[in-house]
Amino acid sequence: MNLSKSRYTRGIQCKKMLWLEKYKPEEMDNINNESVFETGNMVHEVARYLFGEHINIDFNSNLEEMIKNTYLTIDSYKDVVITEASFKYLNNFCSVDILVKKNNKYELYEVKSSTELKDIYIKDISYQYYVLNSLGMNVTKTSLIHLNSNYVRHGNLELDKLFTFEDVTPDILKLQDEVKTNIEDIDKYMDSEIEEDKKITENCFKPYPCPFFKYCTRNLPINNIFDIASMRTSSKLKYYDQGICDFKDLLNTDIKDDYKMQIEYELYDKEDYIDKEYIKGFLKELTKPLYFLDFETFQMPIPLYDDVSPYEQIPFQYSLHYIEDKLYHKEYLAKPNIDPRRDLAEHLVNDIPLNVCTLAYNMSFEKTVIKKLASLYPDLHDHLMNIHDNIKDLMIPFKYKKYYNKLMKGSYSIKYVLPALFPDDESLNYHNLDLIHNGSEAMNSYANMGNLSEEDMEYTRERLLRYCELDTYAMVKIYEKLLEVIK
């Protein structure tokens, strides 16, 4: 089997993952990595200019052509910076993000869109060094380049501040025997057509979620330890390793009460639990006019605007339902390809009066967004912080399981709570929306809007508005349900 650096890292995470990709690809779950891939491309394209002028080896489905073009470039220059330089040793292929040649000595740079150094990155670079070193290339330095989370853009991008360099050469050299052994083990494993039974371990979750997890747990009971919400993976694995997986068996352990509640409600089809006194106390703190607020945000690895750091949440949209004598709705959606924050902040202070009670679901997110806007715009600071200080969290009764039913499956996320409270209301079903069904799709759709035709842009805009509107309408319905159950 031909190895690449991505296949190598997957292989050392779990060889069976690679085996299933080859022999049973139909069992793979669709883990959407498209946005991760696009993010990585964006960072790579910017990082290439850290070394000034460079020559890029264009991608070609014929890997031999990429390798040929790499060697032609190397042979044509005494000193050169090459991006996506491609090499193959035996059946081990790699493309190096940035390769610097100086007097027949080479420096290898791996670019990551992360803001930190991770162990898996070291193993990735170790594999690349192994390939180049095995080909007789004198690699004198290997480094990781990743984003600096403390960088704040002011004016033009400062690449030397946006990126952080970590020299990992000593770590790489120590791992070379291990790389050789890993490659041999992977090759041997992949040659067998017999599927190996393999226990569930941390490697099923780290460093990346395995797309074959459902397949590998297909023989576990329908309700099992891995279905427990909010429990740490390490705790789940402790029970699993003891052979305690079934919900019925878990009830006979010292498992926490919150987890027992989920198990009992799903096993025994118990009636809804409603702590009326608690909910009455919660509702008593809410005063009319009552506002329901939800933001949509996007984040980019490369800051697009001033006063923005890598991956900072940028609000571009909000929905606002509010109850006075009846239910009203307001909304805001920024135009594409602009910094939306100032205009959004101005609309927000116009739409939410001073000293009113505002509800959010998981309010820490909305409060963080508002606090950042207040720090950016001193003239709007007091009004924004007044909104911030008067936000209350509709999630609280569900977080503390003061209202619970089996369909919540141990979770207090609105995506579980809403269908659990209104299982037959199709108007509250996100799956019935067109184009946009969750926050990730909203973020990606907005980020791409500027590339669309006028007709497609208007269609996307309408879909974004309807998605965000449902978020706050759902909150209204949940609030009304709380009022209903305390009667």
pLDDT at 32: 56
Beta bridge partners of 105: 102
Task: Report, as an integer, the average pLDDT of 264-285.
Answer: 97
* 201-210 own/partner pairs: CB under 8 Å, 24+ apart: 201/237, 202/233, 202/234, 202/237, 203/13, 203/14, 204/14, 205/233, 206/13, 207/9, 207/13, 207/118, 207/119, 207/120, 208/10, 208/13, 208/120, 209/31, 210/13, 210/14, 210/17
pLDDT tens readout for residues 124-141: 999 999 999 999 999 999
pLDDT at 30: 79
Residue with tokens 């162990």: 119
Please tell me the number of Cα atoms within 13 Å of 354 on its side-chain side: 4
Domain 5-190, CATH number (from 3.30.420, 2.60.40, 3.40.1000, 3.90.320): 3.90.320
pLDDT at 299: 92
Is pLDDT at 143 greater than 60 in this prediction? yes
pTM: 0.91
Distance CA(413)–CA(398), nearest Å, equals 8
Q: Helix-strand-coil percent breakdown of the chain, rounded to 5?
A: 50, 15, 35
Chain mean pLDDT for the chain = 95
pLDDT tens readout for residues 341-359: 999 999 999 999 999 999 9
**Ranges of CATH 3.30.420.10 domains, the chain:** 273-487
Write the DSSP string, 184-225. Answer: HHHHHHHH--SPPP----GGGTSSS--TTHHHHTTTS-SSBG
Task: Report, as an integer, the average pLDDT of 50-56.
Answer: 95
- A 10 A CB-CB count for 243 gives 8
Is pLDDT at 81 greater than 80 in this prediction? yes
What class, spelled out in words, does domain 273-487 have in CATH? alpha beta
Distance CA(221)–CA(246), nearest Å, equals 6
**Ranges of CATH 3.90.320 domains, the chain:** 5-190
pLDDT tens readout for residues 249-269: 999 999 999 999 999 999 999
Task: Report, as an integer, the average pLDDT of 285-306.
Answer: 96
Structure tokens at 460: 């996307």
* Eight-class DSSP state of 242: T
pLDDT at 39: 73
pLDDT at 1: 75
Task: Report, as an integer, the average pLDDT of 185-199.
Answer: 95
Task: Report, as an integer, the average pLDDT of 183-198.
Answer: 95
pLDDT at 62: 94
pLDDT at 3: 95
Is pLDDT at 33 greater than 90 in this prediction? no
